[in-house]
């Protein structure tokens, strides 16, 4: 440990000691202990001081020694100072970094097991991006981005793909159902939320039919996101032959170590030929049936071609980790020859607590920072880290057209206030910010310079960058980018632009709520 780090840690410990000492006195005074207790147990106060201080100092030292991002360290220290008892419990549940390492170490080993040799990959997938054919001029402009994803997430670019943008549930779920109905070999479904409502029942019934017909059906749902999925529904699927498993199950113990690391991915792969990736989970609200939210705006990508195999690889890695059953390489011929499908270049990228790098965050940062004409972002949740915030401001200040579309109806108040705390400096840099008012916008889409697009499960927030398991598809194609850009501009017709002068006049209580929420934004 360097001297500078040692003295910094010593200063923090002294500050914590002072704060906790006075806080413990305040707590004892607020408790108004009866005099009889003080007489019968003369050492009660001393014991209280000792336990109180020891627990919180222990948590504070752990936070410091874990080497976190400074903003997260300060946020947790603030929680411990201002919410000593509750803060300690919250830290046990959500904050322990060493738990993250223990949970994800095994998954990393399984990922390595299923990282198929690139020389056995589809055409172009194993090549260095600098070896791109000269006619792929759009892709050649993004060679360094391709290399970044290849190096930080081991997902190479693929050719021989066709893509189709699906807008809203009325396009997304009929395509899901049609693909599953035509399945001949297997259906792999991975989702954060799976509800046994009308839509969920329809999909579940079809999965049962396909399983009984001999199709291998595997369903992976997140244990927290799908916590309301009934046991009867799950039993019905299993009785029909569907293999269905929860990702990182949660027991009733309140300090459960797995609760903070969730699988937020949305993947559907059928027969290795067709795949879907995007923001839509399985529930009636995604068809606009939520009584309070109303219309639901989402975007999904339908894939055919070589990129589907890499989407399938992500599913198999997650499935192996969940079932604790290693996949044999010859069990799933991921990189079998694909028929000629299309000429789109697609690169899958996955990231999560099990990856060395925050791959999706790095891609967001790089694409924004290197934009030359325009950056259009749609995200339901927006809590950027310092890198993304700097990239947005720098790009806007350089004259690039930067537009950000957010929902006007927040579903989590504290996230909403945290989001608002970042907007003033973005407005000052020239970023145009819009609030979508026609229901709730849940799409996670990035379009850069009219030639590069990203669609997937990752929000533009800290949780998606480091805590959630996420997956996105990057499409190097002008036609797809134009389609998504037109959808974005159409969405702006149902949005209200945030004017800097109007935002400056917001009430003082709003500013206070924003500032308070921003302190805790690294933990949201």
**Antiparallel, parallel or unpaired: β 432-436 and 495-497:** antiparallel
Give per-residue pLDDT as tens, 74-109.
Answer: 566 666 666 655 666 666 555 555 455 555 555 655
Residues facing 475 on adjacent strands: 346, 453
Alpha-carbon span 346 to 161, nearest angstrom: 7
Catalytic residue among 100, 236, 271, 487: 271
How much is the pLDDT for 79?
65
Residues 403, 407, 408, 410, CA torsion sign: negative
- Spell out the alpha helix ranges (H) of 284-442: 307-323, 359-369, 386-397, 413-420, 423-429
For the question of residue 444 being annotated catalytic, the response is yes
How much is the pLDDT for 484?
98
C-beta neighbour count of 234 within 10 angstroms: 20
Question: Helix, strand, or coil here: 471?
Answer: strand
How much is the pLDDT for 365?
97
For the question of residue 298 being annotated catalytic, the response is no
Residues facing 377 on adjacent strands: 404, 446
Which pLDDT tens digits describe the chain residue by residue (524 residues)? Answer: 455 555 555 665 566 566 655 665 555 555 555 555 555 555 555 565 566 666 656 655 555 555 555 556 556 666 666 665 566 666 655 555 545 555 555 565 555 555 544 434 444 544 555 555 544 556 667 888 988 998 888 888 988 899 999 999 999 999 999 999 999 999 999 999 999 999 999 999 999 999 999 999 999 999 999 999 999 999 999 999 999 999 988 765 444 445 678 999 999 999 999 999 999 999 999 999 988 888 999 999 999 999 999 999 999 999 998 998 876 554 555 556 677 788 899 999 999 988 888 999 999 999 999 999 999 999 999 999 989 999 999 999 999 999 999 999 877 788 888 899 999 999 999 999 999 999 999 999 999 999 999 999 999 998 999 889 999 999 999 999 999 999 999 999 999 999 999 999 888 888 888 877 776 665 56
Helix 307-323 / helix 97-113 crossing angle, nearest 10 deg? 120
How much is the pLDDT for 415?
87
Alpha-carbon span 117 to 104, nearest angstrom: 22
Backbone angles phi, psi at 298, to 5 degrees: -140, 165
**Structural domains of the chain in order of their starting residue, each with its CATH number:** 3-95 (no CATH), 103-128+159-344 (3.30.870.10), 359-523 (3.30.870.10)
Give per-residue pLDDT as tens, 297-344.
Answer: 999 999 999 999 999 999 999 999 899 887 655 455 555 667 778 889
How much is the pLDDT for 509?
86
How much is the pLDDT for 123?
45
Residues facing 403 on adjacent strands: 376, 432
For the question of residue 256 being annotated catalytic, the response is no
Cα–Cα nearest to 160, from 292, 411, 340? 340
Catalytic residue among 72, 100, 236, 266: 266
Read out DSSP for 75-90?
HHHHHHHHSHHHHHHH
Catalytic residue among 100, 264, 273, 403: 264
Give yes or no for a contact between 493 and 405, defined as CB atoms under 8 angstroms apart. no
Which residues lie below 8 Å from residue 458, measured CB to CB, with a gap of 6+? 264, 351, 360, 364, 444, 464, 465, 468, 470, 471, 472
- Stated as kind and residue range, the H or E segment containing 233 is helix 231-239
Catalytic residue among 210, 273, 444, 477: 444
For the question of residue 231 being annotated catalytic, the response is no
List the structure tokens of 406.
Answer: 């957010």
Give yes or no for a contact between 264 and 290, defined as CB atoms under 8 angstroms apart. no
DSSP state of 327: P
For the question of residue 266 being annotated catalytic, the response is yes
How much is the pLDDT for 276?
98
Catalytic residue among 442, 461, 477, 491: 442
List the structure tokens of 10.
Answer: 């010593």
Which residues lie below 8 Å from residue 181, measured CB to CB, with a gap of 6+? 206, 210
């Amino acid at each position: 440990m360097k001297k500078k780090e040692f003295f910094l840690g010593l200063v923090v410990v002294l500050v914590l000691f002072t704060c906790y000492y006075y806080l413990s006195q305040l707590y004892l005074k607020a408790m108004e202990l009866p005099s009889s207790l003080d007489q019968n147990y003369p050492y009660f106060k001393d014991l209280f001081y000792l336990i109180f201080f020891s627990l919180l100092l222990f948590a504070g030292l752990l936070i410091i020694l874990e080497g976190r991002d400074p903003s997260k360290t300060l946020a947790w220290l603030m929680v411990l100072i201002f919410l000593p008892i509750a803060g300690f419990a919250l830290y046990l549940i959500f904050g322990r970094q060493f738990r993250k390492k223990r949970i994800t170490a095994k998954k990393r080993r399984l990922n390595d097991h299923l990282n198929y040799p690139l020389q056995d990959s589809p055409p172009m997938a194993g090549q260095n991006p600098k070896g791109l054919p000269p006619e792929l001029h759009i892709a050649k402009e993004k060679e360094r981005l391709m290399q970044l994803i290849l190096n930080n997430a081991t997902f190479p670019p693929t050719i021989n793909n066709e893509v189709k943008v699906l807008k809203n549930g009325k396009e997304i779920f009929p395509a899901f159902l049609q693909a599953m109905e035509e399945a001949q070999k297997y259906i792999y479904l991975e989702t954060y939320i799976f509800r046994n409502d009308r839509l969920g029942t329809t999909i579940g019934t079809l999965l049962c039919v396909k399983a009984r017909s001999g199709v291998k059906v595997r369903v992976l749902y997140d244990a927290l996101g799908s916590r309301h999925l009934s046991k009867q529904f799950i039993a019905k699927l299993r009785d029909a032959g569907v293999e269905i498993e929860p990702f990182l199950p949660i027991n009733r113990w309140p300090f459960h170590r797995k609760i903070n690391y969730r699988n937020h991915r949305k993947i559907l792969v059928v027969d290795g030929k067709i795949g879907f990736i995007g923001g839509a989970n399985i529930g009636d609200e995604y068809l606009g049936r939520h009584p309070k939210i109303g219309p639901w705006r989402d975007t999904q990508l339908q894939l055919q071609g070589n990129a589907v195999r890499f989407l399938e690889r992500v599913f198999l890695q997650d499935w192996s980790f969940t079932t604790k059953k290693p996949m044999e390489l010859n069990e799933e011929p991921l990189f079998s020859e694909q028929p000629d499908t299309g000429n789109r270049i697609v690169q899958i990228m996955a990231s999560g607590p099990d990856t060395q790098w925050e791959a999706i965050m790095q891609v967001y940062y790089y694409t924004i920072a290197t934009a030359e004409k325009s950056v259009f972002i749609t995200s339901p949740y927006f809590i950027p880290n310092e890198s993304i915030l700097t990239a947005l401001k720098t790009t806007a200040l350089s004259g690039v057209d930067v537009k950000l579309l957010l929902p006007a109806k927040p579903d989590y108040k504290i996230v909403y206030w945290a989001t608002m705390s970042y907007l003033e400096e973005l407005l000052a840099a020239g970023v145009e910010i819009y609030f979508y008012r026609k229901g709730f916008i849940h799409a996670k889409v990035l379009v850069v310079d009219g030639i590069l697009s990203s669609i997937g499960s990752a929000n533009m927030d800290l949780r998606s960058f480091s805590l959630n398991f996420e997956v996105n598809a990057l499409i190097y194609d002008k036609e797809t980018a134009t389609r998504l850009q037109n959808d974005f501009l159409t969405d702006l017709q149902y949005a209200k632009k945030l004017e800097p002068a109007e935002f400056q006049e917001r009430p003082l209580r709003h500013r206070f709520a924003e500032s308070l929420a921003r302190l805790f934004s690294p933990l949201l």
